[in-house]
Amino acid sequence: MPAKSKVKVVWKGEDFKRALHFDMKKKMELCCRKIEADIKVSISGPPNTVNQQSSMVGTRSGALRASITSNWTGGGNGSPPGAKAKARGATSIPDPGGTVTEVRGVVGTNLVYGPVHEFGATIKPKTKKWLTIPFPGGGAVTALGVGRGSAREFKNTFIANDIIFGQSTGKSDKIVPLFILKKSVTIKARPFIRPAIDRNASNVRRVFLELKK
């Protein structure tokens, strides 16, 4: 299972009435969608842009941005969810007489490198001797820094000074650096989910506190 980076907002109580529950579920949906949209905006441009929302992650292929999703559900004594509810991660839909104990929202990504960006990590090879890191601006990446393939996919290569060299993919036969060989790589945290939560925290509190009035 790919690792997930997610942030949960939980509202608990002893026995919500049905009307209050659906109000809260609707509020949770709105909050989750707002945070999801905020995250996507923050990683839609180049890293460190003037926009104060911009995270340090930025956009290359757009895969991370596209993977950001949110879902919301209520838990308690209820009936099994329908197909649409299941698609959004619901575990139960309370019956009129059921006891609802929790309304939960989740925002995050299921991409394996999501937590690496969010929390940082030290990466080591699992089965091989070396990590092959695409050389910045080299022949193994596009102009946006998106990888063109793994080291095994490049032919006529050779190694010098812990760098894999090979022919460029263009018309020229020029020899270019492709990959750097490393025993391990430490990637600093570049959070993009937690800042969005922080930006929206006061609004989320206000939305739910209004239901208690």
Structure tokens at 173: 């036969």
How confident is the model over 105-129, as pLDDT tens digits?
888 888 888 899 899 999 999 888 9
Q: Domain boundaries in the chain?
A: 5-114+190-212, 121-187
Average pLDDT over every residue of 1-17 = 47
pTM over the 0.85 mark = no
**pLDDT confidence band for 137 (50 / 70 / 90):** confident
Q: Is the pLDDT of residue 213 over 80?
A: no
Q: 40 exposed, middle or buried (CB, 10 Å; 0-12, 13-18, 19+)?
A: middle
Answer for the pair 69, 36: CB distance below 8 angstroms, yes or no. Answer: yes
